[in-house]
Structure 1
Amino acid sequence: MTADANTIALIYSATSLGVGIILGLAGLGSALGWGLICSKYMEGIARQPEMQPRLLIQMFITAGLMESFPFIVLAFAMYFTFANPFIGGALEAISGLGG
């Protein structure tokens, strides 16, 4: 039994759909995170204006850590897109069924 083109196309299409959802949710999470960080920064300045320089530094440190998350997700998405591990597993399973 050999792997037909429909099975491989189905795996690639499902992987592409999953990657799109993953990247969309990572972008949404990043946007919400930036909104929350900046809103809390503005609240802190409104309560204690003399703390503005210290809050600014802490905001940028926190935002930098938060912003690394979409890039990590992007790396996983590129892995699933270009070095699809599901194809190798599917081909091994199909060849195992045939012999």
Structure 2
Amino acid sequence: MAHAGWCARRVIVVRAFFKRLRGLIGGKSDECADDVFLFPKCSSVHTFFMTHALDIVFADKEGRVLLSLEEVPPCRIVWCRGASFVLERFSRKPGSG
């Protein structure tokens, strides 16, 4: 997270299939504003059914940032070849939710 310039109140590691599929769907940006979700063994994510934009970081197994995206809107699929894990959070930009 430091390589991405992020800090978090808590990091939630998501391993179970259905929890991975759900991700931040249904989460409230004000309640989860300081939470970061970590998806291990992951190189793609979707933003279907989201109500807020997301910030997404793809990193390799050493934690090096391969791709950092801000304000990814709902109804998108994003991926990064070579990524070992993904970090997600609600976008911090004004007007992104």
User: Which interval holds the TM-score relative to the shorter structure?
Assistant: under 0.3
Could you say which structure has the higher helix fraction? 1
| More strand per residue | 2
TM-score of the superposition, structure 2-length normalised?
0.20
Structure number with greater CO (CA < 8 Å, separation at least 6) is: 1
